[in-house]
Amino acid sequence: MRAQPPASHHVGGQFVESTGDSFESRFPATGEVIARLRAADPELIDRTVDAAAEAHREWAATPPVERGRVLRRAADLIRERNHDLSVLETLDTGKPLQETLVADAMSGADCLEHFGNVIATDTTDLIPLGGSPGASFAYTRREPLGVCVGIGAWNYPIQIACWKAAPALAAGNSMVFKPSEVTPLTALRLAAILVEAGLPPGAFNVLQGAGDVGGALVAHPRVAKVSVTGSVATGERVAAAAATGLKHVTLELGGKSPLIVFDDAELDNAVSGAMLGNFYSTGQVCSNGTRVFVHRSVYDEFLARVAARTERIVLGDPLDEATQMGPLVSAVQHAKVLDYLRIGRDDDGARVVTGGEAVSVAGLPGGLFVRPTVFADVTDDMRIAREEIFGPVMCVLPFDDEDEVVARANSTQFGLAAGVFTRDIARGHRVIARLEAGTCWINTYNLTPVAMPFGGYKHSGIGRENGRAALDHYSQIKSVYVELGDVDAPY
Ligand code: NDP
Q: Is there a catalytic annotation at residue 164? A: yes
Euclidean distance between CA atoms 434 and 186, whole angstroms:
39
Q: Is 184 in the pocket of ligand 1 (CB under 6 A)?
A: no
pLDDT-based confidence at residue 135 (cuts at 50, 70, 90): confident
Q: What percent of the chain has pLDDT over 70?
A: 100
Q: Is the pLDDT of residue 134 over 70?
A: no
Among residues 27, 22, 28, 37, the alpha carbon closest in space to that of 2 is found at 27
Q: Is 163 in the pocket of ligand 1 (CB under 6 A)?
A: no
Collect all residues with Cβ–Cβ distance below 8 Å to 300 and sequence separation of at least 6. Answer: none
How many CB atoms sit inside 10 A of residue 392's CB? 27
Give residue 331's Cα distance to chain centre.
21
**What's the one-letter identity of residue 416?**
L
pLDDT at 133: 64
The minimum-distance atom of ligand 1 relative to the CA of 179 is 9
The minimum-distance atom of ligand 1 relative to the CA of 336 is 32
pLDDT in tens, 191-206: 999 999 999 999 999 9
Q: Is 228 in the pocket of ligand 1 (CB under 6 A)?
A: yes
pLDDT in tens, 100-130: 999 999 999 999 999 999 999 999 999 999 8
Give residue 140's Cα distance to chain centre.
31
The alpha carbon of 263 and the centre of ligand 1 are apart by a number of angstroms equal to: 38
Across the range 226-252, mean pLDDT stands at: 98
Check: CB of residue 90 under 8 Å from CB of residue 63: no
pLDDT in tens, 273-292: 999 999 999 999 999 999 99
Best mutation site among 180, 181, 217, 282 for ligand 1 pocket (most ligand atoms within 8 Å of CB): 180
Best mutation site among 104, 231, 329, 393 for ligand 1 pocket (most ligand atoms within 8 Å of CB): 231
Outline where DSSP puts E strands in 145-298: 147-151, 174-178, 204-206, 223-229, 248-252, 258-261, 291-295
- To 10 degrees, what angle do helices 186-196 and 82-93 make? 160
Euclidean distance between CA atoms 88 and 35, whole angstroms:
11
Check: CB of residue 35 under 8 Å from CB of residue 179: no
In the set 148, 286, 388, 395, the catalytic residue is: 286
Across the range 268-275, mean pLDDT stands at: 98
> What's the whole-number average pLDDT of the chain?
97
Instruction: Give me the half-sphere count of Cα atoms (radius 13 Å) on the Cβ side of residue 486.
Output: 3
How many CB atoms sit inside 10 A of residue 204's CB? 33
The alpha carbon of 389 and the centre of ligand 1 are apart by a number of angstroms equal to: 14
pLDDT in tens, 22-50: 999 999 999 999 999 999 999 999 999 99
Q: Is the pLDDT of residue 488 over 90?
A: no
Euclidean distance between CA atoms 426 and 169, whole angstroms:
40
In the set 252, 256, 388, 395, the catalytic residue is: 252
Q: Is there a catalytic annotation at residue 252? A: yes
The alpha carbon of 135 and the centre of ligand 1 are apart by a number of angstroms equal to: 54
Outline where DSSP puts E strands in 317-392: 351-354, 373-376
- Of the chain, the end-to-end C-alpha distance in Å amounts to 77
pLDDT in tens, 391-434: 999 999 999 999 999 999 999 999 999 999 999 999 999 999 99
pLDDT at 132: 72
What radius of gyration do the chain's Cα atoms show? Answer: 24
Across the range 318-330, mean pLDDT stands at: 98
The alpha carbon of 229 and the centre of ligand 1 are apart by a number of angstroms equal to: 7
Phi, psi of 250 (to 5 degrees): -120, 130
Across the range 342-364, mean pLDDT stands at: 97
